Structure 1
Amino acid sequence: MDLGFLQTLYEGDAPVVSVHLDTTRTTHDADKQIELRRRAARRSLGEQGADEETLRVLDDVIGGVAEVPGPQGEALFASAGKLLGAFTLAEPPAADSARLLPVPDPLGLAIDRDHQLPHVVVAVDREGADVEAYPAAAHEPSFQRTFNGSTLHISRVKAGAEAKASFHRRSVNLWTENTGQAAADVRQAAADVDAAVILVAGDPKAVGLLREHLTAQPPAGELVYIEGGRTDASAREGLRESVDAAVREAMTARHRSVLNILEAELAGGRGLQGIPAVKEALAEGKVETLLLAADRSADPELYGSRRDPRVVGTDPAALGDDPTVFSAPAAPLLLRSAVAGGAAFTEILPPARATDGVAALLRY
């Protein structure tokens, strides 16, 4: 996953407030629970030394997005009275957190974004299709089209032999035309978001015809056929559940693939694990992908510099005579170095392990 979206969090040299909260609104008292979490976060940040101006900035934006249904969370970052970033999380954080550090702590946000894939959802029947394209981590589609072709004689009807054959030919032709238009929409939608996966559901006959069109001229992304449809609320609800499950499965498969590559590269010398080796490679700009485990409870304090965000040290003396040296937990400093060096990111999903919960794939 590209870490470029975190770049704005590193503007300025003042300490940064990082907040990750559960803002799910699925219960009758959700607003009250969110307010209690907000107060707890504010109190904790005040005890850590956050200035009142920065806390007031958070007061103006904290609370999630009421229009997003189902589980959600948010990640907020502020410094010196300025909001650096506000992000909606697709899933609530494992635990609420509020930290004041010399640098942002966006690991929870990075992991949430790493779990999302750009995808296209297609619900097709004999009359047309609903096609929606979602960029990674988006709650609303960036491309949305509903197509309903002519329904004249769309169903095969009982009639005389000659008339019956004519109606059947017309029905099949309409199905083919409609799914042809749907396939064009799918290809455009997939290209718009650079889709990793295209999820197709609906009427079996229409799905079969759509499959023929997409096989003849494949779109970007892997085609996956799921349950659900567009006929009624129940079918659409089933579609949503199938989409969520399929995206999780595709995400997990992608992570396994990266971890398999890491295992092979560790053996071949183009992979590293452990904080000492990875921090040196980050400083030299050699890291293509930084891998971190979500559990950072055993993280040591490391040292960073305002002069060079790529440099991370285990001893302040290793950074030389630099008055800008500061200390912070390992994960925020390693992520800062990765962003500065243009490295990508992948979570080390359990049960996979690495020394210190840290690994890297190298560019060279």
Structure 2
Amino acid sequence: MELGFLSPLFDRPGPWASVYFDTTTAPGDAASRQQAHAHAACARLRRQGADQGTCRAVYDVLAAAGRPPQPPGRAVFAAHGEVVLAPPLATPPPGGGPHACWEALPHTGPLLELLERHPVALAARVHPAGADLELHGPLGIRDAGRVRDSEAVADALSRCFSAYGAELLVLAGDVPARRALHAQLPARLRNRTVQAARGSRRPLADEVARARNGHSRERTSTAMARFVAGRVPTDDGRVWATENVHSLADAAREHRIGSLLIRPDGANVHREVWVGEDPDQMAVDRTGTEHLGGPPATARADDALLRAAAVTGAEVVCVRPGELAPDAPAGLPAGGLGALLRWPYGGTREGGGRDGGRREPAARQ
């Protein structure tokens, strides 16, 4: 999962109101139920010390959250009287919600399980005269435009792919036309392209769903395979993965985290850590807070690490047992938190010294 969409949460100080809200209602009581839940969420925020302006901003969003069309749930993040982000959820929060907290950092950890977990896919129904585009993502299937010039389709797909943050391209429709189109795509798109077997609406939706699901599983399995291998020191002592909370905090400070792995049921996920104002300021205990600058605050470990990952461009992988290879070790990462590192711990730098080398190790045989 790429976390660029969370960036607005980390370029301003807290404290933050974080609310997870169930937007599913029976038609007859939609408005009254949403208003009651909105009142309940804001009452909880006020009891935790939230200011009136922030509570009002949250209420206004939540009270309107049940108006169709709506996803099954919504998260709301607000600070200093302003709702900064309100992403849709693919799954309503457990227990029906609302879940509300007022803390130093946005409580982003639940997003890993509640957001649409499969990658956004751009689908193109190709025909000799052009293509019709669809976006398959958290809000279902959306029209992404039409191209009525076959020579312009490849450029249009490239632009849309980047603009929508897609990770997968699915080509359907006229077979000769889409083969010609595939050859015109830039290499970065060809490597992320799946050819659909059929082109009608229902089969295409099913095929895109399967492609997205397969992409998620492959990404998780690949990350876990690299993590398992990276925990074992190389011949020169380099370690490319870590799962100790202390070393994860060090890696966050040093911007070493390349991929953050979170197993939501792990014991360390909700462990309390100390944070400063900057995303790379993190300490596991009070004795390590002297480098945090201003007065430190407490936060959940997953929230602190997600903030660091988002700001440094790290990928986040939610480890779900059902998406792992059958031979994958159970219970990893230990404690629920781990990372693949951009450069390793240990080993010897070229030219001398320890804990260096930023080059990826050669593939193990």
Measured against the shorter chain, the TM-score band is 0.7 to 0.9
1:318 to partner: Cα distance = 1.5
Aligned to 2:184: 217
2:358 aligned with 1:357, yes or no? no
Distance in 1 between residues matched to 2:183 and 2:313, nearest whole Å: 37
**Cα distance per residue 1:80-137 (max 9 Å; x no partner):** 3222222223443445321111111112335556724242223356887522356x65
Contact 1:288 1:363 in 2 (8 A): yes
**Cα distance per residue 1:279-326 (max 9 Å; x no partner):** 1111122111212123366622111123x4313222212212865111
For the residue of structure 1 that corresponds to 2:86, the secondary structure is strand
Q: Within 5 A, what are the aligned runs for 1:294-309?
A: 294-295=264-265, 299-306=270-277, 308-309=278-279
Distance in 2 between residues matched to 1:137 and 1:190, nearest whole Å: 21
For the residue of structure 2 that corresponds to 1:346, the secondary structure is strand
Cα 1:295/1:83, change in 2 over 3 Å? same
Q: Within 5 A, what are the aligned runs for 1:191-270?
A: 191-194=159-162, 195-202=166-173, 206=174, 208-218=175-185, 220=189, 221-227=192-198, 229=200, 236-268=201-233, 269-270=239-240
Contact 1:133 1:144 in 2 (8 A): no
Letter in 2 for 1:259: M
Contact 1:4 1:342 in 2 (8 A): yes
Cα 1:199/1:117, change in 2 over 3 Å? same
Aligned to 1:103: 105
Distance in 2 between residues matched to 1:347 and 1:29, nearest whole Å: 35
Taking structure 2 as the reference length, what is the TM-score of the superposition? 0.74
For the residue of structure 2 that corresponds to 1:258, the secondary structure is helix
Question: Runs ≥4 in structure 1, deviation > 6 angstroms?
Answer: 125-128
Task: Specify the structure having the higher radius of gyration (Cα).
Answer: 1
Aligned to 2:76: 76
Contact 1:301 1:328 in 2 (8 A): yes
Q: Which runs of 5+ in 2 are unaligned?
A: 234-238, 325-331, 344-365
1:16 to partner: Cα distance = 0.7
Distance in 1 between residues matched to 2:217 and 2:135, nearest whole Å: 20
2:58 aligned with 1:58, yes or no? yes
For the residue of structure 2 that corresponds to 1:254, the secondary structure is helix
Taking structure 1 as the reference length, what is the TM-score of the superposition? 0.74
For the residue of structure 2 that corresponds to 1:303, the secondary structure is strand
Contact 1:183 1:213 in 2 (8 A): no
The one of 253, 260, 270 aligned to 1:290: 260
1:278 to partner: Cα distance = 1.1
Distance in 2 between residues matched to 1:29 and 1:297, nearest whole Å: 39
**Cα distance per residue 1:58-100 (max 9 Å; x no partner):** 111124374546x432111112322222222344344532111
1:362 to partner: Cα distance = 0.9
Aligned to 2:245: 275
Distance in 2 between residues matched to 1:128 and 1:349, nearest whole Å: 40
Q: Which runs of 5+ in 1 are unaligned?
A: 148-180, 230-235
Aligned to 2:282: 312
For the residue of structure 2 that corresponds to 1:103, the secondary structure is coil
